[in-house]
Structures are given as structure tokens and as C-alpha cells.
Chains A and B, each alone.
Chain A
Amino acid sequence: MLDLEPARPVDRGPTDRPVARLHDLRVSLSRNSRRTEVVRGVDLEIGRGEIVGVVGQSGSGKSVMSLALMGLLPASALPQVSGAVEVDGVDMATAPEAARRRVRRLDLGVVFQDPMTSLNPTMRIGRQVAEAAGSPAEAIRLLRAVGIPQPEQRYGAYPHELSGGLRQRVMIAIAIAGDPALIIADEPTTALDVTVQAQVLRVLAGLRDELGCSILMITHDLGVAAQIADRIAVMYAGEVVEEGPALGVLEAPQHPYTRGLLRARLSLETERGRPLHTGLTDAGALDPDAGTDARAPSGTEPATAVEEAVVERTTVSAPARSEAILRLTEVRCEFAVRDARGRRATLAALRGVTLDVQEGESLALVGESGSGKSTLLRAVAGLETRYTGTIDGPPRSDVQMVFQDAGASLTPWLSTEALLLERLRGRDLSRVERRERVREALDRVGLPETTLAAKPSELSGGQRQRVALARATIVPPRILLCDEPTSALDVSLAANVLNLIHDLRRQMGMTVLFVTHDLAVARIVSDRLAVMYLGRLVETGPVEKVIAEPAHPYTRALVAAVPGARRELPVIVGEPASPMAPPTGCAFHPRCPVMQDECPSTLEGIQLVEIGPRADVEARQHRVACVLRGEF
């Protein structure tokens, strides 16, 4: 394991010459015979041993910039590059291919977002690392350096046999082979769970201290950049609009776009009582035509939810008295699957979940991948029927769902109007009434009528999620299920959608069940939080209380793993165990920092029990499944 001192630049010989230098870099790409300038005059220098975070939303040109830096712009897009992109003194746009290849081999290392697509699926990971490192022994050393446990055993594993976090570490091991001067990391943690993300960020920060290499960290998440970067460059529409020391940019942003981005970003300190800032409305100073294709449609997104009046957020509506609208009792769900080596296995997605949801309440289900939160939602939706136990709720037509990937949840060849009208079938409505209902639904989600004829591919990401919401609410449901509806959206769009869900809930008095892996989002949308780990609830309670005083060590780790500037990186080790072989007793015990002797076999430790004094109503709702009951 690396020595994990707090990140600090390491002096590595002469620092006079930067590792990489971009000067007035302009890149234009051609797509469908239309030429767009994607990078529009970027000046950036990356010093030796420096971690530079490039932050921008999708379409900001940050990825194209990194491709230009590697000299790997796709030839099919007929790239035109002007200005300078130098790595180690070699211009990656104009130098001969041999020279550029030499730079890529010796000076650069790359970590992409999804290691599954960048690792060779047919090769054992050890050989892939050895190919870059030169020898098996060196490969094992590298695998150990990036924190892969038992590298000798993992050497012969194939990529699909590893978890996402381990795969990304393998990718990092390949990237650091040959001691590169600069590592380009393009959204390296976006596909990872939050606790694993924290671990990978630690590894990356550790590399710089250990090897003295520079890192160009490309991310959409200001928090991630803030966590490890020394310097942050904010990109918007192909330009660096602000650049400076990480803390300076975060605490005293100069550019309105950065300010908007910061305000739209959700953190555990975001004020809950008022609509979220949607950020980009503040960037009005920018040229509205400045954006690339991705940016353009968002300009047409009306900021419906931004009413300046402070909206009283409905708090838990006296749940002790009101009727439960949804009652889950001992819900278990198992699937017959094949494990990584093709053997038959049982995947226990839900292992006994008992939960009541009150009418009008908003409950957030939080957990990492494999926690069963999505399966639970699907069971409630009636999409998953292979469960035991009981789910008592309203009839299916009163339950609607919004999916994670709105684009994929809309039938690609049907227009918005067709999708909305479908929900009104079988109702005794005249043609005019139907039209009226469709128009109302669109109006509620703030979409212009011109979107009626549009197919999903013609809409922007935010618009698609609005269409999905309109479809779910055109006939008001009693329960609205949301499966990470904002995780694929840029911050400002996510804020818009969250505001919208809140408004809809208020207007229609819906009960909302919201699945998310992001505590900051959960805190905004919900009254009550339910934390899941490997198919069981480990903690439930009023959202503020759970986040402020997490009673389960896992919840505590989740809270700690939310990235941000000057945040203590969490100490939790390992990754969520496989639901195919959940640990006995309390499933969290192998990772638990406060594990007790009884934990591997405990039966009480997996029951939710109240903590705190009986008299306190608030505290009585706070329940935890842990042998320590929050006393640690």
C-alpha cells in the first residue's frame, strides 16, 4: 500500500518546465458534415508533480482537450488543431507520429472512466500490466502499489472477474507503468461507488506523492476535483473560464459560471428549505450560442422550478398517526445467476426487508451497488415478481416510476405525444380532453408544446427526464418511484429535475420513494432515509438526523465518503461484498472499523431497533441494525 500522507506537491527536480503546456489550443471537429469548434482557445500548464482538475459539464470540451493532449483525436472527425499542445516539449498535434507515440509510451499514462471497456477482456490482467511494465515481477509490484490485495492471486484473473474498483486500480497500474510524467485521468471514479471512489482518489493522490508524477484529473464533479487537485480549471463551452488554486476557486469563484456550478452542486450543507439553484441561469452573461450541441438544448430548458418564493418543504407529516400507504414485510428476493467463472450461484438481492411508508412521505433508499435498493423499488413497482414476503400497497395503476436513464426509458420511435397519450388509454375522454390533459402535463414539467412531436433522440437529457416525469404524472399516481433519476444528468439539470419532483409532489400530494447512491441528493428530496447494505436495511430515520448522527458504521462511512474540499478521506476499506456470497451475521462486518466478536454471527445486530430515549418522537424514528446501536 502506498504511504498515504495528505496530498502535497513533491519537488521532483527542476520545476521550471511544465510537463504539459496548452497554449491557445483550438480544436474543431466535424460531425455529419458540420464543423464545430469544441475547444476554443485553452491555455493551461501542468507543472511537475501537480494535480490539475479540469471541471466542466458534458459538452464543455474537456474530454476532447484531453484527447488532443494525447494526440488521439479521432481521425474520422477530421480534427483541426491550432495553437500548441505540448507534452514534454513535443507538440502532440504536429509532431511526427513516431515522436508522439514515444511520448505516449514514456511520458503519459491514461485512466478512463470505464475500465471494463479499456481493459482487454480476453487477457489476464497480470499480462496486461506486464505488457506495460516489462516483467511479471514489476507488474505484481505495480498491482500491489495501487492497493490490489493478493496481487499474486489476482495476476491470472480476467477483467470481468474483478469488481469495478479493482478494475480501475488495474487501469491505474497500467497507467503508472514506466513511471510516466503525466497521468491523464478522465472521469476515473464516475462509475464507482462512493466509498470505492474515495479509495481510488486516495490511490491517485498517493501516486503523486510516491512517484512525483503530475495528474490531469478530468471530472464533472467539483467535489472530486476539490478533493485531490492543487489547481482547478473550470471549462465551459470549450474555454477555460476560471483557473486557480483549488481552494481559491471553490471559496471565491470569480466567474459567474463557476458560481452557478458551485451553487447548483449539492453537498451535505445545501439548504433544504428552498428550491435548489439551477446554476446555469446565472451564466446568462455567457454567449448563449457559445455551446456545442450538448449545451444548446439546455438553453431552452425553462427554469420553471426557480420561483423565488421560499417553498416550505413538507416535513414528515406526523407519520406516527397517518396510515401507511405501503407496507413491506420480510421481503426477500433471490435470483439464480452464474458467477464470474460460470458456475451456478444464488444472488440474494433482498434479504428480509420490512418497511412502512407513510402517505405523503418522501423516503430515500440509499446504498451502494448491490445493496438491493433498485430491486426493492422494482418489486414495489411490480416489475420484479420473484420475491417472497408481502408488499401491501395501492393498485399498480397508482404506482408510477421514473427510471435512471430517461433516454432508454422512452421508446425511441414514439413521439412525446404518443407516449403521453398512451397513459390515457382506456379512459373515457374525448379527443379534446386528451389534448388538454397532455398539454397540462407538459406544462407542469415545464416543457414547451413544440416537444410534443419530438422523439426522445431529439431531446436533451434534461428534457427526456421531464418527459418521463410528465408521463408518470399525467394521471396523478399515489406513489412515485424514482430510480436515480438525476445520476446521469449534469448538476444544473439535476437540480432542475429535483426541484420539479418536489413541486410535483407538493401539487399532487404524492408519496415518493427515491433510490439514490448520493447522500446529498437523498438529503434534498426526502424526509426519511433508509440506508441499505447487501439486501438489508441497516439504518432508517429522519434524514437530517441520520446524516448528522449516523448510528451505523456503514452510514458513517457513506457520509464521510462524500467528496469535497478539505474533507477527511474515509478510512473504510474494501468494497461491498458480492450479494452472491454475503458475509454471515452483519454483512458489513468484514469492512467495519468497529467490528465486535459477535458481529459475524449476530442475529440481533441485523434487526432494526430504536435508539435514543423513548419519549423523543424524532429519536424513536431513528432505528439502526447494529450490535453497538450507535454507541461507538
Chain B
Amino acid sequence: MSSVAGEQLAGVPVAPGADPTPTTSVPGVPGASGVPLARRRGFPAGVPGARLLTGRLPSLVMIAVLVLLTALALLAPVLVPYDPVQPVGVPYAPVGDPQHLLGTDMIGRDLLSRTLLGMRTSWLLALVVVAVGLVVGGVVGVAAGAFGGVVDSVLMRVTDMFLALPSMLVAVAVAAALGPGLTNTFLAISVVWWPYYARIVRGEVRSLAVRPHVEAARMAGAGQLRVMTRHLVPGVVPTAVITASLDIGAVVLTLASLSFLGLGQPAPAPELGADTSRGMSELLAHWWIPVVPGLAVMLLSLVANLGGDAVRNLMARRG
């Protein structure tokens, strides 16, 4: 993926007719078709309506949904109809109840309010984890990639160490050691999350560092720091952003899992994973109690992944 983005953004324009995309065809070799490999995916050209599905529109829609979701998360405290932690109605009100659109749980708390605030926690925490991972991993990766040699080895071995830790186990350990809570969940996930970015950024920087433009910049008199900030980092940003945006969904899921296991915020704070877990016993009699928060997790993760795809498509197109 990274190479695709890199090539695209290197922005080498191919004049039509100058060098047509090299095809895979080898005369006389059966099975080698003339269709350029990179183009095999996607809709066949000429299918009516294909443009609508392959153009920029779906990507823009997905990103709009992503922005909407973030706005919803930020405004959740103002939007919710009821206090999420207090019983506000009869217990077990079903989905579609005129007072409680998504029903109430076993002690009469409004599920819509709880789910909205739970989504807020998950979503914002996921964004923060990814942002922190991006910054920490980015700094480590750029340093390792740009300096190379011993610096690279040391930084990457440390990264490997963190990469070897099973994320869930670390999170359990941190939560067990420091007690459950929002900050500790955040710490636990961040510790295991940044190494991925460090690896990706480092690889990207190393491939950029051997390109002639870096040598040319050195010849032009740019120092190490300047080469790094002006001639390397801007080239890594697209890849890093794409990776990060595809990653938010995974963080959402991990957070929900931790919370499901009781390692998130303590009750009665509204959390999607914990609410699903606590409601599991009601699944047969009152299905909506676990299913509503569970579906919310799914929705978040789905939107995050589709949004990430959209970001990637748009950035690739821009090249």
C-alpha cells in the first residue's frame, strides 16, 4: 500500500502515448494477458453507472460521514435526551418506545443516551490513540530512517520489543496494575500502538533517503535537520495519514474489547464494550440491551474503515 501511495505522490506524469503502462504480455506465454496488472481491479470500463461508483463521490460521502460522526461525538453531551447514568424510565422499554427511541436497559437508563456517550468515548479515544501513535512512531521512524546505522538499529530493536508485546495482554496488565480507567486504557493501547507507525514511517523514510533528491539537497548545502524536515518528512506524511486513517477502526475495536473484558471505565460510566458485556445476560429476553451498543461498535469500526479507504483513494487520486 505504501508503495502505491509513494509512487502516486511522486507525481511522475506519464504523457499519454509517451510510455504506455507496461503490460504483462509476453508473446507466446500462455495466460499472460495484456491487461496492465494494476488496472485489473475495479469495474470494467464502459459499464453504465460505473463512474458513479468508482469516481470521487463515494469517497467524499464516506469522509462526510466520518466528519459527521466526529461532530456527533463532540456534541454528544448536548444532544443526549437524558442523563445516561440515572434511571429515567421504566426498565426494559423496547426499541421504538416513544420516550426512548432505542429502549431502556434493565434499570431503566436510556439506551440512546448511553450509546451516544459511549460512542463519544470510543471515537475520541481512538482518534487520540492514533494521533499519539502517529507522533511518537513518526518521530522514532523518521529518526531511525534518516540517521540509519546504529541509531536505526537501536531504535528499531526497541520498537521490535514493543511490537512483540501482545496488545491485549499489556492492556490487561496495565489495567490490573494501575486500576481500570480511561487514562489507563489509553496508556495501555498507546504503548502497543506506536511501534506500527514507527516501522511504517521508517521504511518509507529509508526508501526516500536513497532517492537522488536527498543527495541533491545535501549537495545544495542542506544540513541533516533540514534534509529531514524539508526533503524527507513531507514525503512520508501521505503514507502515514493513510495508514492512520485505516487504523482508527482497529483501535475502536480494541477499546471495545478491553471494555468488554471490564478493563475500561468502571461502571456506571457509559461504554459500548462494557454495556454489551453487561447486557449479554438479557440477550434472549430483551435483545436490544446488548445489541444496541454492540451495533454501535460495529458502526464505528465500519465507518472508520470505509473512511480510511476513502482517504486513501482520494490521496492516491491526487497524485
Chain A positions within 8 Å of B, measured between CB atoms, are 29, 31, 36, 38-39, 58-61, 63-64, 67, 70-78, 104-105, 108-110, 112, 117-120, 128, 131-132, 174-175, 177-178, 180, 238, 292-295, 381, 383, 397, 399-401, 403-405, 407-414, 419, 422-423, 425-426, 455-457, 468, 471-472
Q: Is the CB of A110 within 8 A of B25?
A: yes
For B234, the chain A residues whose CB sits under 8 A away are: 413
Residue B1 is within 8 A (CB to CB) of chain A in the complex: no
Q: Is the CB of B17 within 8 A of A59?
A: yes
Taken together as a complex, chains A and B put the C-alpha atoms of A131 and B32 apart, in Å, by 12
Q: Is the CB of A409 within 8 A of B20?
A: no
6 residue pairs from A and B, CB less than 8 Å apart: A59-B15, A72-B23, A75-B39, A105-B28, A119-B26, A131-B30
Taken together as a complex, chains A and B put the C-alpha atoms of A468 and B219 apart, in Å, by 11
Contact for A294 among B17, B27, B34, B230, CB less than 8 A: B17
Taken together as a complex, chains A and B put the C-alpha atoms of A39 and B17 apart, in Å, by 8
Q: Is the CB of B25 within 8 A of A72?
A: yes
Shortest C-beta distance, B214 to chain A (Å), equals 8
Contact for A412 among B11, B15, B25, B26, CB less than 8 A: B11
Taken together as a complex, chains A and B put the C-alpha atoms of A117 and B37 apart, in Å, by 12
Taken together as a complex, chains A and B put the C-alpha atoms of A505 and B245 apart, in Å, by 51
For B220, the chain A residues whose CB sits under 8 A away are: 400, 419, 422-423, 471
Q: Interface readout for B1-31 with A: 1 if CB under 8 Å, 0 if not? A: 0000000011111011111111101111110
Taken together as a complex, chains A and B put the C-alpha atoms of A74 and B16 apart, in Å, by 11
Shortest C-beta distance, A102 to chain B (Å), equals 11
Contact for A178 among B23, B28, B212, CB less than 8 A: B28
Q: Is the CB of A38 within 8 A of B17?
A: yes
Q: Is the CB of A425 within 8 A of B10?
A: no
Taken together as a complex, chains A and B put the C-alpha atoms of A45 and B19 apart, in Å, by 23
Q: Is the CB of B45 within 8 A of A294?
A: no
Give the tally of cross-chain contacts (CB within 8 A). 160
Shortest C-beta distance, B256 to chain A (Å), equals 38
Q: Is the CB of A117 within 8 A of B30?
A: no
Q: Is the CB of A411 within 8 A of B18?
A: no
Residue B221 is within 8 A (CB to CB) of chain A in the complex: yes
Shortest C-beta distance, A491 to chain B (Å), equals 15
Given contacts A74-B39, A422-B220, A425-B221, contact A409 B26 (CB under 8 A): no
For A422, the chain B residues whose CB sits under 8 A away are: 217, 220-222, 226, 230
Residue of A at shortest CB range from B218? A383
Residue of B at shortest CB range from A397? B221
Q: Is the CB of B17 within 8 A of A104?
A: no
Shortest C-beta distance, B10 to chain A (Å), equals 5
Taken together as a complex, chains A and B put the C-alpha atoms of A403 and B213 apart, in Å, by 9
Taken together as a complex, chains A and B put the C-alpha atoms of A29 and B34 apart, in Å, by 16
Residue B109 is within 8 A (CB to CB) of chain A in the complex: no
Q: Is the CB of A63 within 8 A of B22?
A: no
Residue of B at shortest CB range from A468? B216
Taken together as a complex, chains A and B put the C-alpha atoms of A565 and B292 apart, in Å, by 81
Taken together as a complex, chains A and B put the C-alpha atoms of A471 and B218 apart, in Å, by 12
Give how many B residues have a beta carbon under 8 Å from the other chain's beta carbons.
43
Shortest C-beta distance, A493 to chain B (Å), equals 13
Residue B235 is within 8 A (CB to CB) of chain A in the complex: yes
Shortest C-beta distance, A176 to chain B (Å), equals 10
Q: Is the CB of B20 within 8 A of A64?
A: yes
Taken together as a complex, chains A and B put the C-alpha atoms of A75 and B226 apart, in Å, by 44
Given contacts A178-B28, A238-B17, A455-B11, contact A408 B219 (CB under 8 A): no
Q: Is the CB of A413 within 8 A of B22?
A: no
Residue B114 is within 8 A (CB to CB) of chain A in the complex: no
Taken together as a complex, chains A and B put the C-alpha atoms of A472 and B11 apart, in Å, by 23
Residue B100 is within 8 A (CB to CB) of chain A in the complex: no
Residue B81 is within 8 A (CB to CB) of chain A in the complex: no
Q: Is the CB of A401 within 8 A of B216?
A: yes
Q: Is the CB of A61 within 8 A of B27?
A: no
Residue of B13, B16, B34 most packed against chain A (CB within 10 A): B16
For A112, the chain B residues whose CB sits under 8 A away are: 22
Residue of A at shortest CB range from B22? A117
Taken together as a complex, chains A and B put the C-alpha atoms of A67 and B19 apart, in Å, by 11
Given contacts A72-B25, A78-B46, A105-B28, contact A381 B15 (CB under 8 A): no
Contact for B219 among A59, A381, A410, CB less than 8 A: A381
For B20, the chain A residues whose CB sits under 8 A away are: 63-64, 67, 73-74, 77
Taken together as a complex, chains A and B put the C-alpha atoms of A564 and B22 apart, in Å, by 29
Taken together as a complex, chains A and B put the C-alpha atoms of A413 and B215 apart, in Å, by 16
Residue B231 is within 8 A (CB to CB) of chain A in the complex: yes
Residue B157 is within 8 A (CB to CB) of chain A in the complex: no
Residue of B11, B13, B44, B222 most packed against chain A (CB within 10 A): B13
For A61, the chain B residues whose CB sits under 8 A away are: 17
Q: Is the CB of A408 within 8 A of B211?
A: yes
Q: Is the CB of A408 within 8 A of B212?
A: yes
The 10 A-B pairs at the shortest CB distance, nearest first, are namely A294-B15, A457-B11, A38-B17, A132-B28, A72-B34, A409-B216, A293-B15, A76-B39, A409-B212, A408-B212
Taken together as a complex, chains A and B put the C-alpha atoms of A70 and B235 apart, in Å, by 38
Residue of B at shortest CB range from A384? B215
Shortest C-beta distance, A111 to chain B (Å), equals 9
Q: Is the CB of B19 within 8 A of A128?
A: no
For A71, the chain B residues whose CB sits under 8 A away are: 34
Residue of B at shortest CB range from A238? B17
Residue B36 is within 8 A (CB to CB) of chain A in the complex: yes
Contact for A411 among B13, B36, B231, CB less than 8 A: B231
